Amino acid sequence: MADKPTLYLETTIPSYLTARPSRDVIVLAHQEITREWWERKASCYDIHVSELVYFEVQQGDRTAAQQRFASIGGYPVLQITDEARELAEVYVQKIPVSRGAAADALHLAIATLNEMEYLLTWNCRHIASGLVKRRLAEINSGGGFLSPTICTPEELLYENQGVD
């Protein structure tokens, strides 16, 4: 049997997974899709988080932070290296990703350098946008890196990994 595909879990996933139901119907739909993906498909992947995800999930409301932290507690933790910081800076300059979204560029760099096959996120502005995906692939190809497939839980919910 083949190994499970590797997946980098970006911070928005545990945030949507553990949040109280939103009054915004789109966010609520994303929360429900995240929960469904988590229950039905998460076990199909070799999931990793990073030190950055650990830091971000601990921000904000203490009770919510504890729930987010608990949801990712068992996954391998990828380190923030100098190489990841340098690659993130390249992304900030060349994608371009705004300075305010530098942490998002770091998520991209960590997933890339650790050869993650997927990067799962709901951050469609700074990570899962068409421009970011296209420019990331160009930059990584030029640097000899493979790019992770960036997608949302909705996109992976219907992937056939042997579990329906």
Domains with residue ranges and CATH for the chain: 6-157 (3.40.50.1010)
List, in sequence order, every residue forming a beta bridge with 150; answer none if it has no partner: 119
Q: What is the DSSP string of 58-76?
A: TSS-HHHHHHHHHHHTTS-
Please report where in the chains the tokens 């990841």 appear, as a residue. 84
User: What's the pLDDT tens digit per position in 30-76?
Assistant: 999 999 999 999 999 999 999 999 999 889 889 988 999 999 988 99
What does the alpha-carbon distance between residue 156 and residue 5 come to, in Å, rounded to a whole number?
A: 12
Confidence grade of residue 158 (pLDDT, cut at 50, 70, 90):
confident
Q: How far is CA 35 from the centre of its chain?
A: 15
- 150 CB-contact burial (10 Å; exposed 0-12 / middle 13-18 / buried 19+): buried
pTM, entire model:
0.91
Torsion of Cα atoms, 123 then 124 then 128 then 130, to 10°: -160
Q: Per the structure block, which two tokens stand in for 13?
A: 């996933």
User: What's the pLDDT tens digit per position in 133-145?
Assistant: 999 999 999 999 9
What does the alpha-carbon distance between residue 79 and residue 110 come to, in Å, rounded to a whole number?
A: 8
Does position 99 have pLDDT exceeding 90, yes or no?
no
Q: Per the structure block, which two tokens stand in for 111?
A: 């997933």
Confidence grade of residue 22 (pLDDT, cut at 50, 70, 90):
very high
